[in-house]
Amino acid sequence: MRRLNLTLAVAATALIGAIAPAAADMMDIFTHQPLVQRPERLGAGVGMPGQSAVPRETVAYNGPHAPGTILISTTERRLYYILPGGQAIRYGVGVGRPGFAWSGAKTITRKAEWPGWTPPSQMLRRRPDLPRHMAGGIDNPLGARAMYLGSSLYRIHGSNEPGTIGQAVSSGCIRMTNEDVTDLYERAKVGTQVIVMR
């Protein structure tokens, strides 16, 4: 059976310290073989774009992290939500483009449904054409749900561009389809630990 190769960057190992296994220990903790594949789509009346080509799957997990932990592999462009009983839900994600990738440990400190978006000053300097604020809704870049990571500018959020899932396209945020972020939003609580690995 093929195994996924998840490795921790040196910086992530230093940040995460005792809570993270060494890079060699992170290899082979997930199997490719889906236990349950969930390519379900929301109905057209819900107002969300359809699922991307990256299906949501339940996979086997034999790593050290407790149920409820979120692990993100920016190399794989996958997010794992750890379940009880040696399983995890695997979602496709979009990650930071070159120069905007990061790794480390964060905590979900806030959650929002159909969040408004205020581009940070750093982004406005790069893109002065952006609006200063956008109300929440289907056209908002944060999509259907957002989970805010500590005091950072980073979020796990939905996207109105499902075709970007599986790509390195963001300014460091973790993008999901609106379907998948809504599913994760219902599972993850404020206080959930999020470990981002390269």
pLDDT tens for 62-86 read 999 999 999 999 999 999 999 999 9
* Contact yes or no for 81/188 (Cβ under 8 A): yes
- Which top CATH class is 3-39+47-197? mainly beta
Contacts of 76 by beta carbon, 8 Å cutoff, 6+ apart = 4, 6
Query: At 120, which amino acid appears?
Result: P
pLDDT at 23: 33
pLDDT at 165: 95
Q: Which of 163, 150, 159, 158 is nearest to 185 (CA)?
A: 158
Section 174-192 average pLDDT = 97
pLDDT at 4: 37
Confidence of residue 118 (pLDDT cuts 50, 70, 90): confident
More confident call, 129 vs 161: 161
Please write the tens of the pLDDT for every residue from 18-37: 333 333 334 356 554 444 43
Active site residues: 157, 173
pLDDT at 22: 33
Q: What is the mean pLDDT of the chain?
A: 78
Percent of the chain whose pLDDT exceeds 70: 73
**Per-residue tokens: 111:** 């959650």
Section 168-188 average pLDDT = 95
Confidence of residue 43 (pLDDT cuts 50, 70, 90): very low
Please write the tens of the pLDDT for every residue from 53-64: 689 999 999 999
* Contact yes or no for 42/74 (Cβ under 8 A): no
Percent of the chain whose pLDDT exceeds 90: 54
**Is the pTM higher than 0.85?**
no
**Per-residue tokens: 42:** 């929301």
Contacts of 198 by beta carbon, 8 Å cutoff, 6+ apart = 7, 8, 9, 12, 73, 74, 75, 101, 103
How far apart, in Å, are the Cα atoms of 90 and each of 31, 32, 72? 10, 10, 10
